[in-house]
A and B are shown apart, each in its own frame.
Chain A
Amino acid sequence: MIRNSILLILVAGVGIILWQELSVFQSPEKLNDVAGYYAKNGHAETGDANIVTSVVVTYRGFDTLGEVTILFITATIIGFLLKGKQAKEAWKRPDSEFLITASQVLIPVIFLVGVYIFVNGHLTPGGGFQGGAVIASANILWLSALKNSKINHNLLEFAESFSGFGFVLLGVLGIFMAGGFLDNKIFSLGTFGTLFSAGAIPVIYSLIGLKVGSELSKIVIDLNQTQEDAE
Protein backbone atom coordinates (compact mmCIF):
# COMPACT_ATOMS: atom_id res chain seq x y z
CA MET A 1 0.00 0.00 0.00
CA ILE A 2 2.71 2.48 1.02
CA ARG A 3 4.79 1.33 -1.94
CA ASN A 4 1.90 1.87 -4.32
CA SER A 5 1.17 5.36 -3.01
CA ILE A 6 4.86 6.31 -3.31
CA LEU A 7 4.80 5.10 -6.92
CA LEU A 8 1.63 7.08 -7.57
CA ILE A 9 3.22 10.26 -6.16
CA LEU A 10 6.31 9.68 -8.35
CA VAL A 11 4.22 9.22 -11.51
CA ALA A 12 2.14 12.29 -10.67
CA GLY A 13 5.32 14.31 -10.13
CA VAL A 14 6.73 13.28 -13.51
CA GLY A 15 3.37 14.12 -15.06
CA ILE A 16 3.39 17.61 -13.56
CA ILE A 17 6.95 18.24 -14.80
CA LEU A 18 6.04 17.07 -18.33
CA TRP A 19 2.86 19.16 -18.28
CA GLN A 20 4.81 22.29 -17.37
CA GLU A 21 7.26 21.60 -20.21
CA LEU A 22 4.40 21.04 -22.63
CA SER A 23 2.52 24.23 -21.67
CA VAL A 24 5.48 26.45 -22.61
CA PHE A 25 6.53 24.41 -25.67
CA GLN A 26 6.59 26.20 -29.01
CA SER A 27 7.73 24.43 -32.14
CA PRO A 28 10.74 26.31 -33.55
CA GLU A 29 10.28 28.43 -36.65
CA LYS A 30 13.52 27.32 -38.30
CA LEU A 31 16.11 24.56 -37.94
CA ASN A 32 18.95 25.07 -35.48
CA ASP A 33 22.46 25.75 -36.74
CA VAL A 34 23.71 22.17 -37.14
CA ALA A 35 20.51 20.81 -38.70
CA GLY A 36 20.30 23.87 -40.95
CA TYR A 37 23.85 23.27 -42.15
CA TYR A 38 23.07 19.63 -42.99
CA ALA A 39 19.85 20.54 -44.79
CA LYS A 40 21.55 23.33 -46.78
CA ASN A 41 24.92 21.77 -47.67
CA GLY A 42 24.30 18.04 -47.25
CA HIS A 43 23.28 17.36 -50.85
CA ALA A 44 26.20 19.30 -52.32
CA GLU A 45 28.85 17.95 -49.95
CA THR A 46 27.94 14.26 -49.97
CA GLY A 47 25.95 13.88 -53.21
CA ASP A 48 23.35 12.00 -51.18
CA ALA A 49 19.60 12.24 -51.80
CA ASN A 50 18.65 11.11 -48.29
CA ILE A 51 19.97 13.61 -45.74
CA VAL A 52 19.40 11.20 -42.85
CA THR A 53 21.76 8.69 -44.44
CA SER A 54 24.44 11.30 -45.11
CA VAL A 55 24.28 12.37 -41.45
CA VAL A 56 24.38 8.79 -40.15
CA VAL A 57 27.14 7.50 -42.42
CA THR A 58 29.31 10.57 -43.11
CA TYR A 59 28.84 13.45 -40.69
CA ARG A 60 28.19 11.19 -37.70
CA GLY A 61 29.93 8.12 -39.08
CA PHE A 62 32.07 7.62 -35.99
CA ASP A 63 28.93 7.29 -33.83
CA THR A 64 27.63 4.65 -36.25
CA LEU A 65 30.88 2.74 -35.86
CA GLY A 66 30.29 2.84 -32.09
CA GLU A 67 26.72 1.55 -32.47
CA VAL A 68 27.87 -1.32 -34.67
CA THR A 69 30.56 -2.14 -32.11
CA ILE A 70 27.99 -2.21 -29.28
CA LEU A 71 25.83 -4.59 -31.33
CA PHE A 72 28.85 -6.79 -32.03
CA ILE A 73 29.75 -6.97 -28.33
CA THR A 74 26.14 -7.79 -27.42
CA ALA A 75 25.98 -10.64 -29.95
CA THR A 76 29.33 -11.96 -28.76
CA ILE A 77 28.29 -11.91 -25.09
CA ILE A 78 25.01 -13.69 -25.82
CA GLY A 79 26.89 -16.32 -27.83
CA PHE A 80 29.41 -16.68 -25.01
CA LEU A 81 26.76 -17.06 -22.29
CA LEU A 82 24.76 -19.63 -24.25
CA LYS A 83 27.82 -21.57 -25.41
CA GLY A 84 27.74 -25.30 -24.73
CA LYS A 85 24.12 -25.21 -23.61
CA GLN A 86 22.76 -26.97 -26.67
CA ALA A 87 19.35 -28.50 -26.20
CA LYS A 88 19.57 -32.25 -25.68
CA GLU A 89 17.03 -33.22 -28.27
CA ALA A 90 16.48 -30.85 -31.16
CA TRP A 91 13.49 -28.56 -30.92
CA LYS A 92 11.39 -30.11 -33.66
CA ARG A 93 7.65 -30.07 -33.53
CA PRO A 94 6.03 -30.53 -36.98
CA ASP A 95 4.41 -27.38 -38.31
CA SER A 96 1.31 -26.95 -40.39
CA GLU A 97 1.64 -27.37 -44.13
CA PHE A 98 0.34 -23.83 -44.66
CA LEU A 99 3.09 -22.23 -42.58
CA ILE A 100 5.82 -24.23 -44.31
CA THR A 101 4.57 -23.52 -47.84
CA ALA A 102 3.90 -19.84 -47.19
CA SER A 103 7.26 -19.29 -45.53
CA GLN A 104 9.08 -20.93 -48.44
CA VAL A 105 7.53 -18.26 -50.67
CA LEU A 106 7.93 -15.39 -48.22
CA ILE A 107 11.47 -15.87 -46.89
CA PRO A 108 13.30 -15.01 -50.17
CA VAL A 109 11.01 -12.00 -50.66
CA ILE A 110 11.72 -10.70 -47.15
CA PHE A 111 15.46 -11.17 -47.70
CA LEU A 112 15.16 -9.24 -50.95
CA VAL A 113 13.27 -6.39 -49.24
CA GLY A 114 16.00 -6.17 -46.60
CA VAL A 115 18.73 -6.03 -49.25
CA TYR A 116 16.74 -3.44 -51.20
CA ILE A 117 16.39 -1.26 -48.10
CA PHE A 118 20.10 -1.13 -47.38
CA VAL A 119 21.34 -0.94 -50.97
CA ASN A 120 19.03 2.04 -51.61
CA GLY A 121 19.79 3.61 -48.24
CA HIS A 122 21.14 6.78 -49.85
CA LEU A 123 18.04 7.27 -52.02
CA THR A 124 15.01 6.08 -50.06
CA PRO A 125 14.19 5.99 -46.35
CA GLY A 126 15.92 3.25 -44.44
CA GLY A 127 19.43 1.91 -44.54
CA GLY A 128 21.81 -0.55 -42.98
CA PHE A 129 20.18 -0.90 -39.56
CA GLN A 130 16.66 -1.17 -40.95
CA GLY A 131 17.62 -3.59 -43.73
CA GLY A 132 19.62 -5.69 -41.28
CA ALA A 133 16.65 -5.93 -38.93
CA VAL A 134 14.38 -7.01 -41.81
CA ILE A 135 16.91 -9.72 -42.78
CA ALA A 136 17.01 -10.92 -39.17
CA SER A 137 13.21 -11.17 -39.09
CA ALA A 138 13.35 -13.32 -42.24
CA ASN A 139 15.77 -15.55 -40.36
CA ILE A 140 13.29 -15.80 -37.47
CA LEU A 141 10.61 -17.04 -39.89
CA TRP A 142 13.12 -19.49 -41.33
CA LEU A 143 14.06 -20.85 -37.90
CA SER A 144 10.49 -21.23 -36.69
CA ALA A 145 8.91 -22.59 -39.87
CA LEU A 146 11.57 -24.72 -41.59
CA LYS A 147 13.06 -26.54 -38.63
CA ASN A 148 14.79 -29.24 -40.65
CA SER A 149 16.92 -26.89 -42.72
CA LYS A 150 20.23 -25.70 -41.32
CA ILE A 151 21.63 -22.19 -41.45
CA ASN A 152 25.30 -22.05 -42.34
CA HIS A 153 27.14 -20.67 -39.31
CA ASN A 154 30.44 -20.17 -41.11
CA LEU A 155 28.73 -18.03 -43.74
CA LEU A 156 27.16 -15.85 -41.05
CA GLU A 157 30.45 -15.42 -39.24
CA PHE A 158 32.26 -14.66 -42.48
CA ALA A 159 29.65 -12.03 -43.44
CA GLU A 160 29.95 -10.45 -40.01
CA SER A 161 33.74 -10.20 -39.88
CA PHE A 162 34.09 -9.29 -43.56
CA SER A 163 31.62 -6.42 -43.30
CA GLY A 164 33.08 -5.12 -40.04
CA PHE A 165 36.57 -5.19 -41.50
CA GLY A 166 35.40 -3.53 -44.72
CA PHE A 167 33.62 -0.77 -42.81
CA VAL A 168 36.73 0.17 -40.83
CA LEU A 169 38.96 -0.22 -43.91
CA LEU A 170 36.81 2.18 -45.94
CA GLY A 171 36.87 4.60 -43.01
CA VAL A 172 40.66 4.48 -42.78
CA LEU A 173 40.97 4.85 -46.58
CA GLY A 174 39.05 8.11 -46.16
CA ILE A 175 41.91 9.51 -44.05
CA PHE A 176 44.42 8.97 -46.84
CA MET A 177 42.33 9.56 -49.97
CA ALA A 178 39.84 12.22 -48.80
CA GLY A 179 39.12 14.63 -45.98
CA GLY A 180 39.14 12.35 -42.94
CA PHE A 181 37.90 9.19 -41.26
CA LEU A 182 34.79 7.83 -43.04
CA ASP A 183 34.81 10.60 -45.67
CA ASN A 184 32.70 9.37 -48.57
CA LYS A 185 34.64 11.12 -51.37
CA ILE A 186 37.08 8.22 -51.87
CA PHE A 187 34.90 7.20 -54.83
CA SER A 188 33.46 9.71 -57.32
CA LEU A 189 30.18 11.26 -56.20
CA GLY A 190 28.43 10.27 -59.45
CA THR A 191 25.10 11.58 -60.70
CA PHE A 192 22.84 12.84 -57.93
CA GLY A 193 19.93 10.48 -57.26
CA THR A 194 21.18 7.38 -59.09
CA LEU A 195 22.07 4.05 -57.47
CA PHE A 196 25.82 4.48 -58.00
CA SER A 197 26.18 7.89 -56.42
CA ALA A 198 27.20 9.53 -53.14
CA GLY A 199 30.70 8.05 -53.16
CA ALA A 200 31.29 5.42 -50.48
CA ILE A 201 27.94 5.86 -48.70
CA PRO A 202 26.06 2.96 -50.41
CA VAL A 203 29.06 0.64 -49.96
CA ILE A 204 29.45 1.51 -46.27
CA TYR A 205 25.72 1.26 -45.62
CA SER A 206 25.52 -2.12 -47.38
CA LEU A 207 28.37 -3.38 -45.19
CA ILE A 208 26.56 -2.06 -42.08
CA GLY A 209 23.39 -3.81 -43.29
CA LEU A 210 25.24 -7.12 -43.70
CA LYS A 211 26.84 -6.74 -40.28
CA VAL A 212 23.65 -5.82 -38.42
CA GLY A 213 21.70 -8.55 -40.22
CA SER A 214 24.22 -11.28 -39.45
CA GLU A 215 24.63 -10.17 -35.82
CA LEU A 216 20.91 -10.02 -35.04
CA SER A 217 20.43 -13.35 -36.83
CA LYS A 218 23.23 -14.84 -34.76
CA ILE A 219 21.55 -13.73 -31.51
CA VAL A 220 18.26 -15.32 -32.61
CA ILE A 221 19.96 -18.52 -33.79
CA ASP A 222 21.91 -18.83 -30.53
CA LEU A 223 18.71 -18.45 -28.52
CA ASN A 224 16.84 -20.86 -30.79
CA GLN A 225 19.43 -23.59 -30.42
CA THR A 226 19.10 -23.67 -26.65
CA GLN A 227 15.31 -24.05 -26.77
CA GLU A 228 13.80 -27.37 -25.82
CA ASP A 229 10.50 -28.73 -26.96
CA ALA A 230 7.57 -27.55 -24.87
CA GLU A 231 5.21 -30.35 -24.13
Chain B
Amino acid sequence: MIYSIIIIIMALIMLVMAFVAIMHKNLYVAVIASGIISLFASVIYVILAAPDVAITEAAIGSALTVVIFFYVLNKIRRTNDTK
Protein backbone atom coordinates (compact mmCIF):
# COMPACT_ATOMS: atom_id res chain seq x y z
CA MET B 1 0.00 0.00 0.00
CA ILE B 2 2.71 2.46 1.05
CA TYR B 3 4.61 1.57 -2.14
CA SER B 4 1.58 2.42 -4.27
CA ILE B 5 1.32 5.84 -2.62
CA ILE B 6 5.06 6.50 -3.17
CA ILE B 7 4.79 5.45 -6.81
CA ILE B 8 1.73 7.67 -7.40
CA ILE B 9 3.43 10.70 -5.81
CA MET B 10 6.58 10.18 -7.88
CA ALA B 11 4.56 9.67 -11.06
CA LEU B 12 2.78 12.99 -10.42
CA ILE B 13 6.14 14.74 -9.92
CA MET B 14 7.33 13.18 -13.18
CA LEU B 15 4.25 14.50 -14.97
CA VAL B 16 4.85 18.01 -13.62
CA MET B 17 8.51 17.80 -14.65
CA ALA B 18 7.48 16.67 -18.13
CA PHE B 19 5.32 19.78 -18.49
CA VAL B 20 8.20 21.94 -17.23
CA ALA B 21 10.54 20.30 -19.75
CA ILE B 22 8.18 21.11 -22.62
CA MET B 23 6.89 24.52 -21.58
CA HIS B 24 9.85 26.27 -19.92
CA LYS B 25 11.51 29.04 -21.95
CA ASN B 26 14.98 28.39 -20.54
CA LEU B 27 16.43 25.28 -22.18
CA TYR B 28 18.82 24.57 -19.29
CA VAL B 29 15.86 24.30 -16.89
CA ALA B 30 14.12 22.00 -19.37
CA VAL B 31 17.15 19.69 -19.57
CA ILE B 32 17.41 19.49 -15.77
CA ALA B 33 13.68 18.74 -15.57
CA SER B 34 14.09 15.83 -17.99
CA GLY B 35 16.98 14.59 -15.85
CA ILE B 36 14.73 14.67 -12.77
CA ILE B 37 12.18 12.52 -14.66
CA SER B 38 14.87 9.86 -15.16
CA LEU B 39 15.92 10.06 -11.52
CA PHE B 40 12.39 9.40 -10.25
CA ALA B 41 11.88 6.72 -12.91
CA SER B 42 14.93 4.87 -11.59
CA VAL B 43 13.52 4.93 -8.03
CA ILE B 44 10.23 3.54 -9.36
CA TYR B 45 12.14 0.77 -11.15
CA VAL B 46 13.77 -0.23 -7.85
CA ILE B 47 10.34 -0.40 -6.16
CA LEU B 48 9.02 -2.49 -9.08
CA ALA B 49 11.92 -4.98 -8.50
CA ALA B 50 13.94 -4.14 -11.63
CA PRO B 51 17.34 -3.06 -10.24
CA ASP B 52 19.12 -3.76 -13.55
CA VAL B 53 17.02 -1.18 -15.37
CA ALA B 54 17.25 1.21 -12.42
CA ILE B 55 21.06 1.37 -12.54
CA THR B 56 20.98 2.03 -16.30
CA GLU B 57 18.32 4.71 -15.98
CA ALA B 58 20.14 6.47 -13.12
CA ALA B 59 23.52 6.47 -14.86
CA ILE B 60 22.47 7.18 -18.44
CA GLY B 61 19.19 9.07 -18.04
CA SER B 62 20.05 11.42 -15.23
CA ALA B 63 23.83 11.80 -15.63
CA LEU B 64 25.12 11.16 -19.15
CA THR B 65 22.19 12.51 -21.16
CA VAL B 66 21.95 15.71 -19.13
CA VAL B 67 25.68 16.42 -19.48
CA ILE B 68 25.67 15.69 -23.22
CA PHE B 69 22.66 17.99 -23.65
CA PHE B 70 24.53 20.73 -21.76
CA TYR B 71 27.61 20.32 -23.97
CA VAL B 72 25.50 20.51 -27.12
CA LEU B 73 23.45 23.47 -25.84
CA ASN B 74 26.62 25.38 -25.05
CA LYS B 75 27.95 24.64 -28.53
CA ILE B 76 24.73 25.63 -30.31
CA ARG B 77 24.41 28.91 -28.37
CA ARG B 78 27.99 29.76 -29.28
CA THR B 79 27.40 29.13 -32.99
CA ASN B 80 24.26 31.26 -32.93
CA ASP B 81 26.08 34.11 -31.17
CA THR B 82 28.91 34.34 -33.67
CA LYS B 83 26.55 34.42 -36.67
Contact = CB atoms under 8 A, between A and B. Distances in A.
B59 A219 contact: no
Contacts of A129: 56
Interface stretch (B4-12, B29-37, B72-80): B72-80
B55 A220 contact: no
A133 B60 contact: yes
Interface in A216-231: 216, 219-220, 223-224, 226-228, 230
A134 interface: yes
Interface residues of A, number: 21
B27 interface: no
Given A125-B52, A227-B75, A140 B59 contact: no
A184 interface: no
A70 B67 CA distance: 21
B63 interface: yes
B63 A219 contact: no
B67 A117 contact: no
Interface in A80-110: none
Contact of A227 (B52, B55, B59, B74): B74
A126 interface: yes
Interface string A189-228: 0000000000000000000000000001001100110111
Contacts of A136: 59, 64
Contacts of B55: 117, 125-126, 130, 133-134
B2 interface: no
Contact of A223 (B52, B63, B72): B72
Interface of A: 52, 117, 125-127, 129-130, 133-134, 136-137, 140, 216, 219-220, 223-224, 226-228, 230
The 5 closest A-B pairs by CB, nearest first: A133-B59, A125-B51, A130-B55, A223-B71, A137-B63
29 contacts: A117-B55, A125-B54, A126-B52, A126-B55, A127-B52, A129-B56, A130-B56, A133-B55, A133-B59, A133-B64, A136-B59, A136-B64, A137-B59, A137-B64, A140-B63, A140-B67, A216-B64, A219-B68, A220-B67, A220-B68, A220-B71, A223-B68, A223-B72, A223-B75, A224-B71, A226-B75, A227-B71, A228-B78, A230-B78
Given A125-B54, A223-B71, 20 more contacts: A117-B55, A126-B51, A126-B52, A126-B55, A127-B52, A129-B56, A133-B60, A133-B63, A134-B55, A134-B59, A136-B64, A140-B67, A216-B64, A223-B72, A223-B75, A224-B71, A226-B75, A227-B75, A228-B78, A230-B74
